[in-house]
Amino acid sequence: MYDPFASDVSTKQGRGTLPDWLEYGYLTRNYTRSISRTVKYAYNDLPLSQVAQGLRLTNDYNKYLNRSANWQNIWNSKAKAKGYTYKNFIQPRNYDLKFNFTNYDFMSCGGCYWGSNVYKNKPVEYGFLPVFDIAKLIQLMGGETHIHSANNNLYAFYGKEIVNVGNEPSIIVPFLLNCINQQWRSVELVRYIMRNNFHSGVKGLPGNPYGGALQAWVIFNMIGISGSKWHHNIPHYIAVFSKFEAKIGKRCDFPNCDKELILWRIFMFSQ
């Protein structure tokens, strides 16, 4: 919890890797999960900066805002993965600022657990996580063409099955194509993921639900919204949905366009 009036808000009990984080702006391999923790710490420092801004604590706002850009410190613009046409990946970095290539594969998470470079997801997936600075992400990935190619290769629908759709870092990835004016490709991916990875039976979720995150992802997309503060237009999956309105004591139906079940309509109609 962020508390500007407490003296211990930046202690190792919350982040056990503070020596590297504060001195280098990234975690070296001296700590496990150095890649995933560097990206996630940066991700978490952005909302801290927003809280500080709301409290009018200018110094804290600037400090955490600057730290939220630390994910860029492990971005190797010259890195290439064998068998792929695009480059630019996140990579472990040493104390001397040199990138570490030892036993490292951009397309593998190794043991994928506590003692690995990344936790659960592959490095290429974590590279898509800093969506709070999408302009910088597109730039570091080499432009819209490269982010398009990289996104395509993540899913069997277009390329190879690299992504793990059951983990949080990949939940937002399909919607990034909206940011390069390919909204319809986002819809195709969402439809593909839902049809091939989710169902209503036993083990109907592709992974750990994380307190309802995967269920919420499905519901938001079925009713035509992406579940973020940005409104990525996703054509709805269902014709009508309803909810119970406690204020008026009855159930309300919300019509969505025509009254047919819509499965593969991928373009939005606007007036």
Extract the tokens encoding 21.
């984080």
Q: What is the pLDDT along the chain (271 residues), one digit of tens a residue?
A: 455 555 555 555 567 788 899 999 999 999 989 999 999 999 999 999 999 999 999 999 999 999 999 999 999 988 887 777 777 889 999 999 999 888 888 878 778 788 888 888 888 888 888 888 988 988 998 888 877 777 777 877 776 778 888 777 788 888 888 888 888 888 888 888 888 888 888 888 887 777 888 888 888 887 776 555 555 555 555 554 555 555 555 555 544 443 333 444 545 544 4
**Contact criterion met (CB below 8 Å) for 24 and 18:** no
What is the spatial distance between Cα 89 and Cα 81, in angstroms, rounded to a whole number? 9
Query: Domain locations in the chain?
Result: 1-142, 163-271
How many helices, marked H, and strands, marked E, lie in the chain? 8, 4
What pLDDT does residue 200 have? Answer: 82
Q: What is the pLDDT of residue 235?
A: 56
Question: Which of 44, 83, 266 has its CA nearest to residue 162?
Answer: 83
Rounded (5°) CA angle 103-108-110: 60
Asked whether the beta carbons of 85 and 149 are under 8 A apart, the reply is yes
Give the type of residue at 171: I
User: pLDDT at position 58, please?
Assistant: 96
Running DSSP on this structure, what letter comes out for residue 201? S
Provide CATH code, domain 1-142. Answer: 1.20.1610.10
The tally of CA atoms less than 13 A away on the side-chain side of residue 237 is 17
